[in-house]
Chain A
Amino acid sequence: MQLEGTHMSGRYDKAELLTALWRLSTDDERLPTSHGILDRALNECLDALPNPLKEGLSFGVTGVGLRCFELPDILLAAQEAMLTSEPNPTYLSSIVTLDEGRARQIAIANGLTSAQARDIGSRLLEKVHQVKERLSDQLSERSVA
């Protein structure tokens, strides 16, 4: 059997919180899932993230640049738990299928008010936009969909 190690514990909780923050701060913007965009954004606003999300996250420069080592597991958990769509045709981003009511429930269950969650999500979104902007000279429109 070739399973590549076991998954990080608590990945579903992190997936829930990440997608809830995203849903509360965006309308229908897709969650970036490749090219290290979300990895870098998470790293840059780590201090603002709630503890249940940021605990256990680690970052490093891999062979393809800075990545969060736990993010693939978290994004897979989000997909397993049907919090995000199956890959869209570009496979570079995902639709957060979680609705706002459920997102608020997740925020509250994690000790945040929905206003706090929205604020944190906005900071993450802002960082994502900044990272995308930094990369936009090089990335084609297709790749940042």
Chain B
Amino acid sequence: MVSDIRKTLRGVAKNLVKEVDDVCEQWLTNLVSKIDDDAPLDFQPKQVNDPVWGTIELLPWEVAILDTPFMQRLRGVRQLGLAQLVFPGANHGRLEHSIGVIGAIEEATRALTRQIERWNLKNPDNHIRPVDESDRQAVRLAGLFHDVGHGPFSHALEPVLEINSPLGSKNQTQADWRAELPHIRAKLSELYSLNKRPSSSVAIAVMMVLSEPVHKILSSKVMAEIKLNAEELESRIVAGIVGAVEGPGATYLSALVSSQLDADRMDYLARDAHHAGLKIGFDTDRLLAKLEILRVREENLHGTEIELRTRASRSKEGTFLQLGIAASGFGSFEQMLIGRTFLYDRLYHHHKVRAAEAMAQRLMLVAERDRGNRLSFKEIFLGVGDDTMLRIFSREVQHQVLKTDSPAAANLASRILDRNLLHRAYAFRGRFIAMPNGLGAKEESQTQNEHWGRIVKTLEGLGNRYDLGKEIYDLAVRSCDAILAEDPDEQDIKKMQQILKEMGPEHVIVDLPDSKTEGIRLLARYPNGALRVPEFSFNPQKWAEAYELQKRTGYVFCPKDVAPLIGMAAKTVFLKKFGVVMAPEADGYIKADPAPEAWTKPLIAADIIDEQAAELLREKRHSLLPVRPEDLNVPSTWLETDPDLATRLSVDIQKCLHGGLTAADMKALGTVLNGLFVFVDAWYEGGRVTQDLLSEKELQDLLASSLRGQAIKVAEGTEVSGGELDLFVENAILIENKFSSKPKAKISDAPGVQGRRYAIALNSQVVIVVSASRAKAGAFKDKVACVTACPVSGEALNRVEIRIDLPFGAVVPSAERSK
């Protein structure tokens, strides 16, 4: 099985294998040549000074691998991506971290060795096999290799690697190796029992370890001192990198490289805080002292661990070993998780760091879009540092492998290099969503939640975020034109118009920070000897999630000079798409000046927004209400026939409206629909279905009379849109009547308002069409099936047509028979 790992994994990703082999060959050519030439290999151990672990001793074969471009390129891949733009000390690279992980592994294996010795002294008949040299050498190598799958800008690259169709360009060619990454991840999950699914960079690291040149090195005399053969060594390294629980090469030491309490985390937390200059303490010494090799047996496993009991029962001597923690170490473990949360908040999620990371992601996607094909593996793993990569994209430096001529990508790269980062133009957060007055606390919070849910769902993925940013940009351009049409001498706007033209939509970035999550995947030994998942009275992981969510704020970033305009456009687009207006509190997160009030009038004049929308955005400052089943007043007798009618209608209406309705329009809709349901009941029960109907006029008269009889305000059509046969009800809703003397499945659509160019119009969002058509012989719709909702014809705007199709002139069965 061990020897199959390499064959199996390389077998499922032939294109990726070729790409990886090629770059690794280039990086390792000198070392491989020496091996091929049988040249003397004189690698000596080295001691390096490290700010976290003190002196770290590197073994000869580690030095051999370290002193190649394969590892040295990690020197330029900054551990914290672009955080150094905000925290100047946070300049450390992944090479330093990788060496640090060896230091952490060494400390951990020492601590475990001491613990094993203590156990073995106390339990002479029940020994735990000591950590031997091979174990130690293999796990150190896994630590050395664990980050080799990282490309430029560290984790910021991963979403770029995984996106299928960047920025919606139709002219993309998907490199085959990208498509194979998920296969590798899936295969690793199949081969190993894992605590979590491997990421793309982990999958790439595994394939690099299994590459031809690395295989050659691991099989060579460079490794002569290691007692494991190349296949065993590879499987141990792979098991460590993926944090395998069980599977080929997996031992309890695999968890030292990747798990919830691994050397990787122990190193980066301390190192990142140290270099960033943040005073966040981690009690690493105590954590190391509390690491334990747990002897997992059926009898000491807590009853909740059913599958582990099964695993123990089928293990040799009913026991398997697993890395865990003593309950007395919970405090340090909690401290680590909490410290990590503060690091996320202050360092990783700092708004300027986010702006820079988002710009780096954007520039790579834009470069790919503009040249019409994705970046190849060789171009991503160019072997140059982050800064050089930026200089290549900025076209300051030319590289023979990576060709890019995208002006937009170049501009973004130059901005990062000059620390001319994008600014916050608009802030959004769940708790900032402003609600209209008059809602109860529960309704207010549910509506807020519903709006926020729609926002976070829409912003899933870089492609969607780009689309939203582009929509904001396009609206800003239109707004400029409208303001200049009103006042051609508006100098500020002229300047902004020029900047918008030069920067393009690529410089408007909608960003919402990713939260992190992980279930507790660690076994703990309690004082009574029981092994179980730690049960914290205060679960720091859950607390961390809550803390992050409380502070999770999305931003729309753009160049500073156009921030007022982009901010205004963002507010409008968020109202249009999500129905939300953020409370004034959100403005406190933006440094840019708000858009002057004088800009509103030209936008109304240009039909970009209507009066109602402008009022909502400026004076009223609250969100729309999403349509709920109970808002529609569907009679209970109808719901007995079709229990889902109100829900289905509300879903269809909401789909068309996007954001929802103003509180006043929602009230009017409920009132009007209530009146219409009464009218339909009377239509069916009063025999109208079988009676004849002469004209549209007769239909309108019947309807108007019914509504007026229910004290609903009805205005005849000529007053509103010039047609004779329209009704305008409750000063909010247009009812259009349709008539056909012949049976028709559907009478023509209600007309949209022709030539509308609105970004958002809140006037007349709902059009109701009451249509009557002669019933087909034999059958006609039940009344509960006569109400439907659909988009208003010809419009992609936030308007809905609610349709009531009424039959008339149906032939009664006895009359039909007599014909």
* Residues of chain A at the chain B interface (Cβ within 8 Å): 1-7, 9-13, 16, 33-36, 58, 60-67, 69, 71-73, 75-77, 79-83, 86-87, 90-92, 97-99, 101-102, 104-105, 107-109, 113-115, 134-135, 137-139, 143
Cα A33 to Cα B466 with chains together (Å):
33
Question: Nearest-CB distance from A43 to chain B (Å)?
Answer: 11
B522: A residues at CB distance < 8 A: 63-64
Contact B643 A115 (CB under 8 A): yes
**Closest chain A residue to B512 by CB distance?**
A80
Cα A101 to Cα B238 with chains together (Å):
49
Told that A10-B460, A86-B546, A102-B446 touch, could you supply 10 new A-B pairs with CB distance under 8 A? A1-B156, A3-B158, A6-B159, A13-B457, A34-B533, A81-B456, A90-B537, A92-B535, A104-B644, A114-B643
B445: A residues at CB distance < 8 A: 97
**Closest chain A residue to B519 by CB distance?**
A72
**Closest chain B residue to A114 by CB distance?**
B644
Given contacts A65-B304, A83-B453, contact A97 B549 (CB under 8 A): no
> Which of A7, A99, A102 has the most B CB atoms < 10 Å from its CB?
A102
Cα A2 to Cα B154 with chains together (Å):
9
Cα A97 to Cα B522 with chains together (Å):
29
**Closest chain A residue to B547 by CB distance?**
A86
Query: Among residues 297 to 317 in chain B, which have CB atoms less than 8 Å away from a CB atom of chain A?
Result: 302-308, 311
**Closest chain A residue to B269 by CB distance?**
A2
Question: Nearest-CB distance from A3 to chain B (Å)?
Answer: 5
Contact A2 B536 (CB under 8 A): no
Contact A6 B647 (CB under 8 A): no
Cα A79 to Cα B348 with chains together (Å):
21
Task: Offer 17 A-B interface pairs, CB within 8 angstroms, sorted by A.
Answer: A1-B83, A1-B156, A2-B265, A4-B518, A6-B199, A13-B457, A63-B195, A64-B520, A64-B522, A67-B521, A71-B519, A76-B517, A79-B549, A82-B453, A87-B539, A113-B644, A139-B303
B644: A residues at CB distance < 8 A: 104, 108, 113-114
A63: B residues at CB distance < 8 A: 195, 245, 255, 259, 322, 521-523
* Residues of chain B at the chain A interface (Cβ within 8 Å): 80-81, 83, 154-156, 158-159, 162, 189, 193-202, 245-246, 255, 259, 265, 268, 272, 302-308, 311, 322, 348, 357, 430, 445-446, 448-450, 452-453, 456-457, 460-461, 514-523, 533, 535-539, 542-543, 545-546, 549-550, 552, 628-630, 643-644, 647-648, 650-651, 654
Contact B453 A81 (CB under 8 A): yes
A102: B residues at CB distance < 8 A: 446, 450, 628
Question: Nearest-CB distance from B326 to chain A (Å)?
Answer: 16
B303: A residues at CB distance < 8 A: 135, 137-139
Question: Nearest-CB distance from B670 to chain A (Å)?
Answer: 14
Cα A143 to Cα B80 with chains together (Å):
38
B629: A residues at CB distance < 8 A: 101, 104-105
Cα A107 to Cα B647 with chains together (Å):
9
A91: B residues at CB distance < 8 A: 536, 538-539, 542-543
Given contacts A91-B536, A143-B535, contact A6 B302 (CB under 8 A): no
Cα A114 to Cα B535 with chains together (Å):
36
A10: B residues at CB distance < 8 A: 460
A65: B residues at CB distance < 8 A: 304-308, 533
**Closest chain A residue to B343 by CB distance?**
A2
Contact B196 A80 (CB under 8 A): no
B154: A residues at CB distance < 8 A: 1
Contact B628 A101 (CB under 8 A): yes
Question: Nearest-CB distance from A18 to chain B (Å)?
Answer: 13
Contact A58 B189 (CB under 8 A): yes
Contact A81 B519 (CB under 8 A): no
Contact B517 A82 (CB under 8 A): no
A109: B residues at CB distance < 8 A: 651
Contact A12 B307 (CB under 8 A): no
Cα A135 to Cα B430 with chains together (Å):
37
Q: Which of A3, A75, A77, A134 contacts B516 (CB 8 A)?
A: A3
Contact B195 A108 (CB under 8 A): no
Cα A3 to Cα B548 with chains together (Å):
14
Q: Which of A69, A113, A114, A138 contacts B197 (CB 8 A)?
A: A69
A4: B residues at CB distance < 8 A: 196, 199, 516, 518
Cα A61 to Cα B301 with chains together (Å):
15
Contact B311 A61 (CB under 8 A): yes
Contact A5 B198 (CB under 8 A): yes
A11: B residues at CB distance < 8 A: 460
Q: Which of B155, B307, B308 contacts A1 (CB 8 A)?
A: B155
Given contacts A4-B518, A63-B245, A97-B446, contact A9 B461 (CB under 8 A): yes
Question: Nearest-CB distance from B338 to chain A (Å)?
Answer: 13
**Closest chain B residue to A2 by CB distance?**
B268
Cα A24 to Cα B200 with chains together (Å):
37
Question: Nearest-CB distance from A50 to chain B (Å)?
Answer: 15
Q: Which of A9, A34, A77, A82 contacts B519 (CB 8 A)?
A: A34
Cα A144 to Cα B448 with chains together (Å):
30
Contact B156 A105 (CB under 8 A): no
Cα A33 to Cα B546 with chains together (Å):
14
**Closest chain A residue to B357 by CB distance?**
A1
Q: Which of B201, B306, B449 contacts A83 (CB 8 A)?
A: B449
Contact B520 A5 (CB under 8 A): no
A67: B residues at CB distance < 8 A: 519, 521
Contact B515 A76 (CB under 8 A): yes
B156: A residues at CB distance < 8 A: 1
Contact B545 A108 (CB under 8 A): no
- In the A-B complex, the 10 residue pairs with the closest CB atoms: A5-B199, A138-B303, A91-B539, A82-B449, A81-B453, A76-B517, A91-B542, A87-B542, A12-B457, A86-B546
**Closest chain B residue to A81 by CB distance?**
B453
A2: B residues at CB distance < 8 A: 155, 265, 268, 272, 348
Question: Nearest-CB distance from B547 to chain A (Å)?
Answer: 9
A98: B residues at CB distance < 8 A: 449
Cα A62 to Cα B162 with chains together (Å):
25
Q: Which of A69, A83, A104 contacts B196 (CB 8 A)?
A: A69
Q: Which of B272, B357, B545 contacts A76 (CB 8 A)?
A: B545
Q: Which of A62, A86, A114 contacts B521 (CB 8 A)?
A: A62
Cα A101 to Cα B648 with chains together (Å):
11
Cα A97 to Cα B163 with chains together (Å):
32
Given contacts A3-B158, A138-B302, contact A82 B430 (CB under 8 A): yes
A76: B residues at CB distance < 8 A: 515, 517, 545
Contact B552 A80 (CB under 8 A): yes
**Closest chain A residue to B197 by CB distance?**
A69
Cα A60 to Cα B695 with chains together (Å):
68
Contact A134 B306 (CB under 8 A): yes
Question: Nearest-CB distance from A37 to chain B (Å)?
Answer: 9
Question: Nearest-CB distance from B191 to chain A (Å)?
Answer: 11
B200: A residues at CB distance < 8 A: 5-6
Question: Nearest-CB distance from A51 to chain B (Å)?
Answer: 18
Cα A101 to Cα B643 with chains together (Å):
12
Question: Nearest-CB distance from B541 to chain A (Å)?
Answer: 8
**Closest chain B residue to A3 by CB distance?**
B155
